[in-house]
A and B are shown apart, each in its own frame.
Chain A
Amino acid sequence: MRRNQKLAALTGSAAVAGFAVVSAGLAGPALLVAGLLLAVAPGYVWAEVLLGGRGPVLERVLVSASLALACPVIGGVALYVSGVPLHQVQWAALLAGSTVTGDVVLLLRPDRARPAGPGRPGPAWRPAQVALFAVAAVVAAGAVQVARYGAEHQQYTGFTQLWLAPQQSSAELASLGVANYQGSTDSYRLVLRRGSRVVASWTISLRTGQTWQRRVPLRPGLRTSADLFLLPDLAHPYRHVAVSATASSTP
């Protein structure tokens, strides 16, 4: 099999398989591998089409990568102008289609022998040097993990959210909610007032990250407010919100 045929068969089958995996709705590692193959394939094929596999390895690799990045940029605009929405299947079709088109051009073109000499890779690296680069990669990955650990374990001031907001769909209803981000399980007392009258109250226990939410009616002309107490302190409101009497005219 000639070189162009081999290349076209390889990239074409990768693109078609990638498209099949993506459009089948698979997830996880299969999707990741298929997606990455789809992302790089057009650049590789079109670099071969345009430059004929000539020139230094570094130059070919970088031009391939540039073309791979340019493909969704230019192709996305072309699809959009054609009225095609840009979702998963369309992106996959664009990349697979670009690859297969490049393969067809490769197959139709006469196969020239690649020149020897300047285009050949440089002297091989010794195993010890490769091992050093591997050590460097491991240390670098460790450094990123150290940074991630710091970011994940950074101590932030805990907080509790309380809200009372008129709903967008109906100004006569409000969303009343509490969310706990204190970093611990906490108990609260939530008191809802209309004017100065208590109309409802709840005792809530929330784990950190947990949310409590209700819909409450608003009365035009009456101020609605909510006080949240962090138990056991019932003397001092921990959070306070209020919707004014005129807010029910919200557009």
Chain B
Amino acid sequence: MTSTYPARARPDAGWQAPNVSSRADSGQPEHAARSGRLAGPIAVTAALGLMLVAAAFTASRMGHASASWPDRCYWLGQAMIVGPAALALVSRRLTEAGTVAILLTVTVAEYLAKVCYSPLLFSYPDEMEHWRSTVNLLHSGRLFGVNYVLPISPHYPGLEEVTASLASITGLSVYDAGLIVASAAHVLFIGLLYLIFRRMSGSWWIAGLAALIYCSNPNLTEFDSMFAYQTLAVAFLAVTVLAAWHVTAGRERRAGWMAVAVIGLLATVITHHVTSYVLAATLALVAVACACARQRSAAVRAAVLAAVATGAVVCWLRLAAPQTMSYLMPEAQSLLANVRGLLDGGHSAAPSASAGPPGDVLLSGLTVLVLSAILPVGFWYVWRRFRSNPWTVAMAVGAACWYGVVVVRLVAADGSELAGRASTFVFIPLGYIAALAVAQFGRPGRSRRWLISGLLPAIVVLVLLNGMANGWPPYWERLPGPYQVAGFERSVEPAEIDTAQWALRTLGPGNRFAADFGSYTVLGSYGDQNPVLNDAFLYTSPRFSKAAAQQVQAAAIRYVLVDLRMARELPASGQYFPGLDPGAGHYTHPLSIAGLVKFSRIRGVSRIYDSGDIVIYDLWGSRYYAP
């Protein structure tokens, strides 16, 4: 593979190409064999690591959840997946084929680790929500249907369309088709990222390194690979950016690449809101960078793409998804309020950033420090050598957003969540600029050989492990296992799913339900019910009150699902109830049983379902609705 970008503007043009790579470029067969010799054993090691991860999950499910050895087994497995690959990719001893093979090995192994976490059905909240949208599309044959638990999802139906079409024409279940679509999109995304970095840098070593650093994005191994609309949208974003590179900097087939870019950006706009905004902004940034570099024709072509993307976003917002702004606005307003509060000299209303185990917090802090420190080296290098290269300059500008993400994480309410979401995008330029900096450190020279052989792999492995430790699932659900009250994946068990399916079968879809945090998504997805947020008031008071009745009527709550385990265990997530839970993070003992069973004593309330731990009450005709 060769880059068609002008050699003087290539980021690797300033140093001598790595010896092995340059000889491999010339096609010497012994180096091809060497790459194979590394890639094959690394693939086997990664597979054995995956086996350890799967064994840890199985042990945790089979009654060893409280033992420490499954956790150690899990981390050993993860180290076997990423460690040798990181060593090889940093070492510069690979050919391009070896680089790609190792990168895809890590990507596939990490994806399979995610599948192993939940190998029978979707249990991640976001996956269950999109499962519901897909099933609705399959049944109705219509787009833009109703999804009570994630109302915005049917208005960005790309993922559901691909999955429904695949399930329809192959006869596969939605789960199997969804896994195929998500895995294809995930592998595609990493492969395309590699190609983007490869085209920009002209070096497969830098490209492999940049893609590997991107893999330290805390969301990548779970959130960005799950059956959710962003997983597919980022693949479309990547193909659009690659096509945009060809349109602006390439020399061949510009019309064809322009068509690919337009198809990619339209698919992005249909598939995910935030990703489409990031794509439009990226194309605009590239246009500005090309204009600043006095590359007029490239600037015009990038500006055309940016205009098409912006136009498509606006049209989609107006015609198909006008509710997007009301969906995204509360998060944006909360963020702005926190930043404003901080700028005014006060304190933000944000709770402190992630409070996991000390080891995870330390790892997170170290990673932030390392990345924050390494980026200026990349900026300096870009300034010195590549300030006339618009794509590299655009990447540098994008990478600077990393510091904004760090600030958001520290000051914003729910900052860890927002920072995690942003990292999906920010890590793209960050990975590239950090790879340039690492490459600068690792330039050939005896005095620095220890950097390549020792320190750099250690740093890369550190940031990769941080991505796993501080990504998803949270540390208290890192391994699957027995039920946890008010958790995420570990609150999805047969009892919850059967209850949700019973509700759909017996009560019909779309009923207004009050439920706890753990049952909220299951009811909304597998049960196709319409669960309400901010319902703590119903459970925490020991007796009926007129104020509660007013709130019930205002929220049109018809049914109340009570999980009696809330009176026995503390919430794993820190909050018992979805939305605003006044006690979130402050619960020191389980809920009072009196508040949970009071419904049986309230006149007119029907107790319509009982499965032991889970009881459903019907409030219609009761004092809650009495005049």
Interface residues of A (CB under 8 A from B): 18, 22, 27-28, 31-32, 34-36, 38-39, 49-52, 54-56, 58-59, 62-63, 65-67, 69-70, 72-74, 76-77, 80, 85-88, 90-92, 94-95, 118, 122-126, 128-129, 131-133, 135-140, 142-144, 146-157, 159-166, 168, 175, 179, 181, 239-247, 249-251
Find residues 372-392 in chain B having any chain A CB closer than 8 Å to their own CB.
none
With contacts A69-B181, A151-B119 taken as known, whether A250 is within 8 angstroms of B253 at the C-beta atoms is no
Q: From A31, which residue of chain B is reached at the shortest CB distance?
A: B171
Do the beta carbons of B116 and A143 come within 8 Å of each other? yes
In the complex, besides A35-B169, A67-B260, A73-B158, 15 extra interface pairs with C-beta distance below 8 angstroms are: A50-B253, A50-B259, A52-B253, A58-B100, A72-B161, A73-B266, A87-B141, A88-B169, A118-B1, A132-B43, A133-B40, A150-B54, A163-B610, A165-B608, A250-B620
Q: Are B43 and A136 in contact (CB under 8 A)?
A: yes
Given contacts A126-B36, A181-B498, contact A249 B611 (CB under 8 A): no
CB proximity of B326 to chain A, nearest CB, Å: 22
Could you mark each residue 215-238 of chain B with 1 if its beta carbon is under 8 Å from any beta carbon of chain A, else 0? 000000000000000001001100
Main secondary structure on chain A at its contact with chain B? helix
Closest chain A residue to B618, Cβ basis: A247
B548 at the interface (CB under 8 A from A): no
Q: Which residues of B contact A123 (CB under 8 A)?
A: 27, 29, 32, 95, 97
Residues of B within 8 A of A143 (CB): 47, 50-51, 53-55, 112, 116
User: Does B8 have its Cβ within 8 Å of any Cβ on chain A?
Assistant: no
Chain A nearest CB, measured from B518 CB (Å): 15
Q: Is the CB of A126 within 8 A of B33?
A: yes
Q: Counting CB contacts under 8 A, is B508 at the interface? A: yes
* CB-defined contacts of B51 to chain A, threshold 8 Å: 139-140, 142-143, 146
Bound-state CA distance A78–B605 (Å) is 48
**CB of B46 closer than 8 Å to a CB of A:** yes
Q: Contacts of A142 on B, CB cut-off 8 Å?
A: 51
A194 to B: closest C-beta gap in Å: 14
Chain B nearest CB from A81 CB (Å) reads 9
Q: How far is the CB of B204 from chain A (nearest CB, A)?
A: 11
Q: A161–B195 contact, CB under 8 A?
A: no
Query: Residue B263 at the A interface, CB < 8 A?
Result: yes
Contact present for A31 and B621 (CB under 8 Å) = no
Which of B27, B60, B507 has the most A CB atoms < 10 Å from its CB? B507
Docked pose: A35 CA to B242 CA in angstroms: 29
Given A73-B158, A143-B53, A244-B604, also A239-B611 (CB < 8 A): yes
Does B495 make an interface contact (CB < 8 A)?
Answer: yes
Cα–Cα distance between A38 and B158 once the two chains are bound (Å)? 18
B417 within 8 A of A: no
Q: How far is the CA of A225 from the CA of B181 in the complex (A)?
A: 48
**Closest residue of B by beta carbon distance from A118:** B2
Q: Would A139 and B169 be within 8 Å (CB), given that A70-B263, A161-B609, A242-B606 are in contact? A: no
Q: Which of B498-554 contact A (CB under 8 A)?
A: 498-499, 502, 506-508
What are 29 A-B contacts with C-beta separation under 8 Å? Answer: A18-B169, A31-B169, A50-B257, A51-B256, A55-B252, A59-B195, A66-B192, A66-B239, A67-B260, A69-B162, A69-B184, A72-B162, A73-B161, A73-B271, A74-B263, A76-B157, A91-B169, A118-B2, A135-B47, A136-B46, A140-B109, A147-B54, A155-B63, A164-B608, A242-B607, A243-B618, A244-B604, A244-B606, A247-B604
How many cross-chain pairs have Cβ atoms below 8 Å apart between A and B?
315
Q: Evaluate contact between A38 and B169: CB separation under 8 angstroms.
A: yes
Residue of A nearest to B38 (CB): A129
**Which A residues lie within 8 Å of B494 (CB)?**
156, 181
Give A31 to B101 CA distance when docked, in angstroms. 31
How far is it, in angstroms, between the C-alpha of A73 and the C-alpha of B112 when the chains are bound? 25
Partner of B609, one of A54, A87, A156, A163: A163
Whether the pair B610, A162 counts as a contact (CB closer than 8 A) is yes
Closest to B27 in A: A123
Docked-complex contact B253 and A54, CB < 8 angstroms: yes
- The 8 residue pairs across chains A and B that have the minimum distance between CB atoms: A150-B58, A132-B40, A35-B170, A123-B32, A147-B116, A85-B141, A246-B621, A139-B47
Question: How long is the Cα–Cα vector from A70 to B559 in the complex, in angstroms?
Answer: 41
Report yes or no: B612 in contact with A239, Cβ–Cβ below 8 A. yes
Closest A residue to B50 by CB, please name it.
A143
Q: Are A144 and B112 in contact (CB under 8 A)?
A: yes
Chain B residue at minimal CB-CB distance from A246: B621
A58: contacting residue among B1, B36, B493, B613, CB under 8 A:
B1
**Contact between B44 and A39, CB atoms less than 8 A apart:** no
Residues of B within 8 A of A239 (CB): 610-612
Pairwise interchain contact B264-A165, C-beta atoms closer than 8 A: no
The answer to whether A73 and B267 touch (CB under 8 A), given A63-B239, A136-B44, A139-B44, is: yes
Give the residues from 592 to 627 in chain B that come closer than 8 angstroms, CB to CB, to chain A. Answer: 603-613, 618, 620-622
Tell me whether A66 and B188 are in contact in the complex, defined as CB-CB below 8 angstroms, given that A73-B270, A86-B137, A156-B495 are known contacts. yes
Q: Which positions 452-507 of chain B face chain A at CB distance < 8 Å?
A: 480, 483, 493-495, 498-499, 502, 506-507
Flag if B166 contacts A35 (CB, 8 Å). Answer: yes
Of A28, A163, A243, chain B has the most CB atoms within 10 Å of the CB of A163
Beta-carbon contact of A39 and B165 below 8 Å: yes
CB of B586 closer than 8 Å to a CB of A: no
* Set of chain A residues within 8 Å of B62, measured between Cβ atoms: 150, 153-155
The chain A residue sitting closest to B118, CB to CB, is A151
Taking a contact as CB atoms under 8 Å apart, the answer to whether B266 and A74 are in contact is: yes
Chain B residues whose C-beta falls within 8 Å of the C-beta of A146 in the assembled complex = 51, 54-55, 58, 116
Residues of the B chain whose Cβ atoms lie less than 8 Å from the Cβ of A153: 61-62
Query: A92–B608 contact, CB under 8 A?
Result: no
Q: Which residues of B contact A249 (CB under 8 A)?
A: 620-621
**Residue B131, interface by CB 8 Å:** no
Q: Are B116 and A144 in contact (CB under 8 A)?
A: yes
Q: Does B96 contact A (CB under 8 A)?
A: yes
Partner of B612, one of A59, A122, A159: A159
A137 to chain B minimum Cβ distance, whole angstroms, is 7
Contacts of B6 in A (CB 8 A): none
Contacts of B58 in A (CB 8 A): 146-147, 149-150
Could you say which residues of chain A place their CB within 8 Å of the CB of B236? 66, 69-70, 73
- Residue of A31, A52, A86, A128 near B164 (CB, 8 A) is A86
A49 to B37 alpha-carbon distance, docked (Å)? 37
Q: Which of A80, A87, A155 contacts B143 (CB 8 A)?
A: A80
Q: Give residues of chain B (57-75) contacting chain A, Cβ–Cβ below 8 Å.
A: 57-63
Q: Which residues of B contact A35 (CB under 8 A)?
A: 166, 168-172
Measured CB to CB, the closest approach of chain B to A199, in angstroms, equals 17
Binary interface encoding of chain B residues 105-146 relative to chain A, with 1 for a CB under 8 A from any of its CBs, else 0: 100110010011111100000000000000001000111000
The CA of A133 and the CA of B610, in the complex, are separated in Å by: 52
Q: Is there contact, CB below 8 Å, between A73 and B495?
A: no
Q: Is B83 an interface residue (CB 8 A)?
A: no
Residues of A within 8 A of B583 (CB): none
A242 neighbours in B (Cβ, 8 Å): 606-607
Once the chains bind, are B44 and A246 in contact (CB under 8 Å)?
no
Contacts A31-B171, A150-B62, A162-B609 given; indicate if A181 touches B191 (C-beta within 8 A).
no
